[in-house]
Amino acid sequence: MSRISADEAGGPNVVAFLDAIACSELGPAMLRLSDDGYNVLVGSTPTKPLLFSSYATHPNVFNSAFRSTAAGRYQELFRNWVAYQPLLQLPDFGPLSQDRLALQQLKEARAIVPIQQGRVTQAVMLCAHLWASLPGADYGQHEQELAQIVDWFRAAGGTLA
C-alpha cells in the first residue's frame, strides 16, 4: 500500500491508482516479497527478486537485459530521479519520496481529476506513456489489460465513476 496519505495525494482514488500502478509494474507477488515494492530493481521476479537495501538515493543500477535503471515501487528511471529530486525537494528515495514523485508525474499528465472522479480508463490513457506496463504504453514490453488495472484499483479501495 502506498505510504502517502489520501489527504496529501488528493483523495482515496489517487492512492488506489498509485497502488494499481505498483501492481501493474511489479505484480502483487513482488509487492509481497519486498518492502511493498519500494526496494525493487527492474527485472525482479518472484523467483529471482532483485532488491536494493538503501533508500538514501535512487540506486542507479543499470540492468542490461532491460536497458533500464528503473527502481522502486513505480519503477522510476534514474534520469527521472535526477530531475524530480531537487524540484520536489525529496530528501531520499524512500517510500514517501517515491509516492510524491509518482504523484507529480500524474499531475503533469493531467490525470489527477479523472482519477479522483473514478474515470480510470481516461487516467490510464493520460499516463500510459509514463509506465511501460500500462495498456497503450507501446514500449514493446508486457502491458497489463485495462480490466486488470481496474480490478487492482478497486481492490485498493478505488471507486469508479
Question: Which residues are catalytically annotated?
Answer: 25
Cell of 147: 480490466
* Angstrom distance (rounded) from CA 52 to CA 20: 22
How many degrees, rounded to 5, is the angle at CA 35 between CA 34 and CA 39? 80
Count of CB atoms situated within 10 Å of the CB of 64: 7
Cell triple for 38: 519500494
Residue 151, C-alpha cell as written in the block: 480490478
